[in-house]
Amino acid sequence: MINTKDILETIKMIEEEHLDIRTITMGISLTDCAADSIDMLCTRVYDKITRMAERLVRVGEDIEHEYGIPIINKRISVTPISIIASSCRALDFSPIAKAMDRAAEVVGVNFIGGYSALVHKGYTNADRNLIESIPEALSATGRVCSSVNVATTKAGINMDAVAQMGRIIKTCAYLTKDNSSIACAKLVVFANVPEDNPFMAGAFHGVGEPECVINVGVSGPGVVRSAIERAGECDMSALAETIKKTAFKITRMGQLVAGEASRRLGVPFGIVDLSLAPTPAIGDSVAHILEAMGLECTGGHGTTAALAMLNDAVKKGGVMASSHVGGLSGAFIPVSEDAGMISAVEKGVLRLDKLEAMTAVCSVGLDMIAIPGSTTAEVISAIIADEISIGVVNNKTTACRLIPAYGCEAGDRVEFGGLLGTAPVMKIEQSSPEIFINRGGRIPAPIQSLRN
Amino acid sequence: MKAVITVVGKDVVGIIAAVSNELVKYNVNIVDISQSVFDDIFAMVMMVDISGCTIPFTSFVDELNSLGESRGLKIHTMHEDIFNSMHKI
């Protein structure tokens, strides 16, 4: 018999502490959809996605119902489109994004990721065409997400791509200027991108992945915060132990749901992503965990250390709870999606420099940060270059999802709605890195020994 | 296959009867019950066997939910696997 205390604990986690499965993401390989003509390619992409994911949403809802656990998002990731579109003669790939968007709408998922290119060492012609088409693709669709990997620890940093992404982000912001520059919220620039990440906007189905796979992202910042509050006055060793135990329970639930979804859909289970993903809801904030650990306000001195401990303890607790762990696995710090982060920025305590330092010890990067609309493409590229360097040198994933909100100044607020939340526009250093960024070329791969 | 039903709400006459009646209606057998009342708040945890349930489990969950709503009670019905996986290694 399961004891009553455990039963009530689980129900409390779900009811009061926002415990949920953040996403069930179906990865679908589109490599067999390649075609000469873009129309044919679009038809094949649409047909394959709608066929493979036909039952995804229904199965997700059934599991949610039977187990009594909210499953917030059902999503799809596909093979990076630049790979499958390289067979096609067209120069503009945006019709493929539109086909993906229609397919996502028909199967009922809220996001589909994979309008992506991997250019860490250089561009293929298709990569070039795809990246050029990102602004059109993201402004003409509502569900498609795009990512570009510009660096890896083994290949170094493609600075031509970094420079180009600054311009692409500016264009995305301009094309959706009447809608809070929302296209930028669906575009991520990565270093060391994982191929099995279930979280948007950076999800895609890597080339080493099987035909179709189920990946699950768990969440639960509220549960971790409550556990820390209950632990009361204790030292760091005891606190780490508390976080580990909580992460274990959260992840076990993710593993159960992943296994069940995989069985019912007849699709292999890939990974559970052990992430603490906040939402704008009160009580679902990573910043509030750091504050429960004893900081007056997130962003103050001590934040990096607290986050490093939290991130490590979540992984240690989660690893044993799941048979396969992957994706991004860590604490997310998206500013607009976290009530505690928003308030720390508005108090002037949390600034971009501190956020950058925090990304050195957690997943995943400068995420959902609104900056003034007048910021130049070169400054955006330079912010990307800084963030990407942290990932490359430290052999970890880092990323940038920056929103140069058109017409907005530092101190304004940008509303994205839903899970994307509200972003305070952050003040950033505007001195010009133009000559540095326009040099182009590649920053060589860093040395992996003599590590200081 | 087993499920856990929890019922929480203001204590009134006939809560156990109402819930048990619903279980009988769908051929669901009670395996274990723990129940108490704190300061007028009724709390019950039931372990039930749903292998003979005459309707799909998701519909059974809905039926109990609407029973809860009609009587001002919070009723959760969840598959036992969730508790086993979270609290047992």
Q: Give the model confidence (pLDDT) of B6-23 as tens digits.
A: 998 888 888 999 999 999
Helix (H) or strand (E) run with residue A157 in it:
strand A156-158
The structural domains of chain B, with segments of one domain joined by +, span 2-87
**Which segments in chain A show pLDDT lower than 70?**
1
Nearest residue of B to residue A65 by CA position?
A: B58
Q: Give the model confidence (pLDDT) of A405-435 as tens digits.
A: 999 999 999 998 887 889 999 999 999 999 9
Bridge partner list, A272: A216, A325
Nearest residue of A to residue B2 by CA position?
A: A1
Question: To 5 degrees, how large is the angle CA A77–CA A88–CA A28?
Answer: 15
Bridge partner list, B75: B7
Cα distance between residue A315 and residue A309, in whole Å: 10
Shortest Cα distance, chain A CAs vs residue B14, angstroms: 22
Nearest residue of A to residue B83 by CA position?
A: A7
Check CB contact of A2 with chain B, cutoff 8 Å: yes
Cα distance between residue A144 and residue A137, in whole Å: 8
Check CB contact of A323 with chain B, cutoff 8 Å: no
DSSP code string of A279-316: -SSTT--HHHHHHHTT-SSTTSTTHHHHHHHHHHHHHH
- How high is the pLDDT of residue A135? 96
The three-class DSSP label of residue A424 is: strand
Half-sphere exposure (CA, 13 Å, Cβ side) for A292?
Answer: 24
The answer to whether A327 touches A199, Cβ cutoff 8 Å, is yes
Residues of A in contact with B6 (CB under 8 A): 7-8, 11
Cα distance between residue A228 and residue B27, in whole Å: 43
Residues of A in contact with B79 (CB under 8 A): 66-68
Give the mutation candidate from A4, A12, A63 for the B interface (greatest B CB count, under 10 A).
A4
In A186-242 the beta strands, taken as DSSP E runs, fall at 187-191, 212-218
* Structure token pair of residue A84: 């499958």
Strands A413-415 and A422-424: antiparallel
Check CB contact of A10 with chain B, cutoff 8 Å: yes
Residues 6+ apart with CB under 8 A from A176: A138, A139, A182, A183, A184, A406
- How high is the pLDDT of residue B36? 85
Shortest Cα distance, chain A CAs vs residue B48, angstroms: 11
The answer to whether A384 touches A162, Cβ cutoff 8 Å, is yes
The answer to whether A392 touches A365, Cβ cutoff 8 Å, is no
- How high is the pLDDT of residue A1? 61
How far is C-alpha A348 from the geometric centre of its chain's CA atoms?
Answer: 25
Q: What is the DSSP code (8-state) at residue A447?
A: P
Instruction: Encode A389-410 in three state secondary structure.
Output: HHHHHHCCCEEEEEEEECCCCC
Half-sphere exposure (CA, 13 Å, Cβ side) for A158?
Answer: 24
Cβ contact (<8 Å) for B86 and A62? no
Check CB contact of A12 with chain B, cutoff 8 Å: no
Give the mutation candidate from B82, B84, B88, B89 for the A interface (greatest A CB count, under 10 A).
B82
Cβ contact (<8 Å) for A7 and B85? no
Cα distance between residue A278 and residue B14, in whole Å: 42
Q: What is the CATH number of domain B2-87?
A: 3.30.70.260
- How high is the pLDDT of residue A180? 92
The three-class DSSP label of residue B79 is: strand
Q: How many CB pairs under 8 A join A and B?
A: 61
Nearest residue of B to residue A6 by CA position?
A: B87
The three-class DSSP label of residue B76 is: strand
Cβ contact (<8 Å) for A253 and B86? yes
Q: Which of B57, B61, B82 sits opposite A256 (nearest CB)?
A: B82
Check CB contact of B18 with chain A, cutoff 8 Å: no
The answer to whether A75 touches A26, Cβ cutoff 8 Å, is yes
Bridge partner list, A214: A26, A269
Residues of B in contact with A10 (CB under 8 A): 78, 82-83, 86-87
Among A216, A203, A252, which Cα is nearest to A24's?
A216
Residues of B in contact with A11 (CB under 8 A): 6, 76, 78
The answer to whether A107 touches A54, Cβ cutoff 8 Å, is yes
Q: Give the model confidence (pLDDT) of B25-69 as tens digits.
A: 999 999 999 888 877 888 899 999 999 999 999 999 999 999 999
Shortest Cα distance, chain A CAs vs residue B82, angstroms: 6
Shortest Cα distance, chain B CAs vs residue A348, angstroms: 40
Q: In B5-33, which positions are buried (b, 16+ CB within 10 angstroms) versus exposed (e)?
A: bbbbbeeeeebeebbeebbeebebeeeee
Cβ contact (<8 Å) for A2 and B80? yes
Q: Which domains does chain A have, with CATH numbers?
A: 24-191 (3.20.70.20), 218-441 (3.20.70.20)
* Structure token pair of residue A335: 């500013």
| ipTM of this complex prediction, to 2 decimal places | 0.83
Q: In A340-353, which positions are buried (b, 16+ CB within 10 angstroms) versus exposed (e)?
A: bbbbbbeeebbebe
Give the mutation candidate from A2, A12, A244, A253 for the B interface (greatest B CB count, under 10 A).
A2
Q: Which of A2, A66, A69 sits opposite B58 (nearest CB)?
A: A66
Check CB contact of B71 with chain A, cutoff 8 Å: no
Q: Which of A6, A66, A255 sits opposite B83 (nearest CB)?
A: A6
Q: Give the model confidence (pLDDT) of A113-150 as tens digits.
A: 999 999 999 999 999 999 999 999 999 999 999 999 99
